[in-house]
Amino acid sequence: MDKRNRIYQGVFRRVLPVLLTAAVITGCGRQEEPEVTELTFIHGWGGTVNTHSTMQEIYRAFDEENPDIVLNYQPSSDSYIAVEQANNMLAVDKMPEIVSTNGQSYYVQNAIKRGMALDLLPFIEADADFIRSIHPSVLETWTGEDGGLYTVPDALEVMGYWYNAGYFREAGIVDEKGNARPPRTWEEFREALEKLDAWGGDRTDACALETVQVAENLFLAVLAGKGPQGLEMARTLPAAFDTSVFRDAVRDFAWIFSHSVNAESLDDAREYFREGRTAIYFNGVWECEEFKGCAAEADIAYANYPTESGESLSYISPSSGYVIFDSYDEKKKEASVRFLKYMLSGEVQLKLALETGQAPSNPNVDLAVIREEYPLLGNALEQAHGADIQIKTITSVWNSGIMETIGADIRRACTEEEALDSLIAELDQSL
């Protein structure tokens, strides 16, 4: 071997370990970028600007916790518009990976018919933590005839009614200790309205009513409170509406309307109550957010509905929620399901309750914690969940078309037999 070759080999032996060490260090220092899965997510604001802000915080936190997933948001200030946008996409066989329906259940049915909605049940049953986060009423309400579950909400619809405890005390609607006591029976409720009218005079009305409240918040509560036959009818779509108990429920609204003032919209009815112009406001627990800082805030309290028997009644109903696209891309499906698990996690559910006034869908959220942090909401939730009778909303049990028909016609039907016959005939034709 000549001298030049010996020099090259000596240099190579000295340099090679350095090169290998540098390569190892370089390889260890390099962090591979995670493969990113992009999801399109259509949703509405779901309430006030503050609620929208909170939801955006929750969604951004998901982004930060899941760097391998990118949510491409398509928000709308109106949930109806957001869902209609997604529904229009179905017409051309397209669907976002995630759609928040905010109770617009028609989208769920349309996505199922198109064969585009993902059955969530296999994912739920395969994950012990996931299945514990699903409220039993969700499975009961949304499991289809094919055994599939195609939507899961992140909040429940919990409804009773709100009342001004100060007005109740002044009007004499009290217990033996002089504390405001909500009526236990519908007969007591009627007496309470009469006392409020007599006490309020020209200053304060008992309540303000508009179409949505009557059909969605009040009607099934009145029907279900009439005993076993009414309760059975309120819990399932009947074979016929022409029954004595249904007719009696409609007629009861004659005296309910006689102790109320008309409201042009739900916003007006809410504002009357906030300002102390009415003593009762019919709507869900989420309305507690709207009471912050209002004139009547200190006196506002929540009550379950009465029944003819004296049992308490509340709505605890899972509206339609998130719908996930049954994509051919398994990574997109896995990422979408991961998002749903995140929205149902205890931490997120508690934040939704405390910052937006929503009723948690996850049954493991401690209501005592909510009561301590947000007494008005926590007390309302505990009362509602402790009601003797629990029913679902009219749109979950019957459908939105029936609700709209009742709302539009009940003012005449409760006092005119001919109009009542016409209403029942129209409802029976819709079955």
pLDDT < 50 stretches in the chain: 1-27
State the number of CA atoms in the 13 A half-sphere of 166 facing the CB.
11
What does the pLDDT read at residue 11?
A: 39
* Cβ atoms of residues 233 and 220 within 8 Å: no
The rounded distance, in Å, linking the Cα atoms of 330 and 309 is 53
Domain 37-158+318-387 has CATH 3.40.190.10: yes
Rounded to whole angstroms, how far apart are CA atoms 135 and 155? 10
Cβ neighbours, 10 Å, residue 73: 14
Closest CA to 427 of 408, 108, 416, 411: 408
Non-local (6+) Cβ contacts of 21 within 8 A are none
Distances (CA, A) of 171 to 73, 181, 194, 275, 397: 51, 11, 10, 18, 36
Exposed e or buried b per residue across 265-277, where buried means at least 16 C-beta atoms within 10 angstroms of its C-beta: ebeebbbbbbebb
The whole-number pLDDT of residue 180 equals 97
Instruction: Work out whether strand 205-209 and strand 278-281 pair parallel, antiparallel, or are unpaired.
Output: parallel
- The answer to whether 156 and 317 have CB atoms below 8 angstroms apart is yes
- CA–CA separation, 139 and 144 (whole Å): 9
Q: Say if residues 255 and 190 touch (Cβ distance below 8 Å).
A: yes
What long-range pairs does 399-406 form, CB within 8 A, spacing at least 24? 399/237, 400/105, 400/106, 401/430, 402/427, 402/430, 403/215, 403/216, 404/215, 405/430, 406/214, 406/215, 406/219
3-state secondary structure of 66: coil
CA-to-CA distance for 234 and 220, rounded, in angstroms?
6
Token digits of residue 247: 């007719």
Q: What does residue 264 show for φ and ψ, rounded to 5 degrees?
A: -70, -30
Largest CA distance in the chain: 121
123 vs 139: CA distance, rounded Å: 13
| Angle (CA) 101 322 384, round 5° | 85
**Residues β-bridged to residue 34:** none
Q: At what angle do helices 106-113 and 79-90 cross, to 10 degrees?
A: 10
pLDDT of residue 79: 83
Tokens found for residue 296? 């009547």
Residue 249 near residue 230, CB atoms below 8 Å: yes
Q: What percent of the chain is helix, strand and coil (3-state, nearest 5)?
A: 55, 15, 30
Cβ–Cβ < 8 Å for 326, 119: yes
- For 241, which DSSP code? S
- Residue 1's pLDDT is what? 47
Rounded Cα distance between 164 and 273, Å, is 8
- Give the pTM: 0.86
Q: Output the six-digit token pair for 21.
A: 């060490």
- The architecture (CATH level 2) of 159-315+391-430 comes to 3-Layer(aba) Sandwich (3.40)
| pLDDT tens per residue, range 155-182 | 999 999 999 999 999 999 999 999 999 9
**Contact at 8 Å (CB) between 82 and 24?**
no
Residue found by looking up tokens 């996931």 in the block:
130
Angle at 82 between CA 77 and CA 86, to 5 degrees: 165
E strand segments, 95-204? 98-100, 155-159, 161-164
Region of residue 64 (left: phi > 0; alpha: psi -120 to 50; beta: else): alpha
If one counts every other C-beta atom within 10 angstroms of the C-beta of residue 85, the result is 15
pLDDT of residue 271: 96
How is the chain split into domains, by residue range? 37-158+318-387, 159-315+391-430
